[in-house]
Amino acid sequence: MLGIGLIKGLSVTFKNLFTPIFTIQYPDKKVGLLAYSKHINKSIFQILKENPKIFLMGIIGMVTIPVKIDQFPRFRGNEFVWYDDRCTACASCAKYCPLGIIEIVTHPAGENMQAGENYAIDKFDIDTGRCMFCGLCVEACPYDALHMGTDFERGNYSRVNLVLDKETLTSQDKNPSSWFRPQFESNEYNPWEESMSNSKDAGRHEKPSYQKIKEKWVNKRKTDG
């Protein structure tokens, strides 16, 4: 009969009217007074005393609090995490990048050149304005010095600000993503709750010291004859 299919379809939409909302309000959501006082960690009376306008807005549920969406640990984020003391300036990341946006300038500085640790890095620029976050540079890094980040709200008014230089990379918060870093997943590390500022935690293996390398490659051979 004509119209039965329509009524069937409308019953589905009617049923969905009472199912919970699955969309997420982003970047802000409107909340009531209790949730707002919990968010800013102040009691309701303090809000009334300090800002009566927000108190009134809160009564009708119209104050806004920011919402931060948690991604999954492998999320390839907008900033890179780089540990300068792990990096040997081998430039594997720069060679592996499909777009060629990593620029590394080094100069030889130090006495232990053969140990591979004494190239001083003058410049380590990642132009995230052209980056597509494929993560191949992270995959290429043999010493776990470069990691994908987890931040994603990095809007800027100028393209120049999107270039991550050496100073930014060393000074910013280090919340590496577990993309291509299985050691993070086994440790149940959550990048949104804790940061990883110590570079020793970040790697699968530690960078061997000069003494160790000398022991392994020079002294041992001498004894072997």
Partner 1 sequence: MSVKSEPITINLGPQHPSTHGVFRMRVTFDGETIIDLEPIFGYLHRGSEKLAEERTYTQIVTLTDRMDYVSSMLNNQGYILALEKLANIEPKPRGVWLRMIASELQRIASHLVAIGFLIQDLGAWGTPLTYAMREREKILQMFEMLCGARITNSYLRPGGVFMDAPVQFWDALSEFTQNFPSEIEELEKLLSSNEIIFSRTKGVATLTAEQALNASITGPILRSTGVDWDLRKSDPYDYYDQIKFNVPTHTAGDNYARYILRVQEMKESLSIVKQCVERIEPGPIRPHHDEVPNLVKPPIGDCYSAIEGSKGELGFYLVSDGSISPYRWHVRSSSLINLTLLKEMLVGTLFGDLFVTFGSIDINMGEVDR
- Where does this chain bind partner 1 (CB under 8 A)? 2-6, 8-9, 11-13, 16, 22, 71-76, 96, 98, 132-136, 139-140, 148, 177, 179-180, 182, 185
Cβ 98 to partner 1, closest distance in Å?
Answer: 4
CA angle 76, 79, 82 (to 5 degrees): 100
Nearer to partner 1 (CB atom), residue 6 or residue 160: 6
Closest separation in Å from C-beta 119 to partner 1: 22
CB of 132 to partner 1, least distance (A): 6
Residue 48's alpha-carbon distances to 40, 126, 132, in angstroms, are 13, 48, 48
d(CA 152, CA 76) in angstroms, rounded, equals 9
CB nearer to partner 1: pick between 22 and 157: 22
Cα distances (angstroms) measured from residue 166 to each of 15, 70, 84, 111: 55, 27, 9, 23
Nearer residue to partner 1 within complex by CB, 19 or 223 = 19
Candidates 67, 73, 81, 171; CA nearest to 128 is 81
Structure tokens at 195: 């940061």
* Cβ at position 141, least distance to partner 1 in Å: 11
Min dist. Cβ of residue 8 to partner 1 (A): 6
Is the Cβ of residue 115 or residue 148 nearer to partner 1 in the bound state? 148
Nearer to partner 1, 7 or 56 (CB): 7
**Distance from C-alpha of 170 to C-alpha of 166, rounded to nearest angstrom:** 6
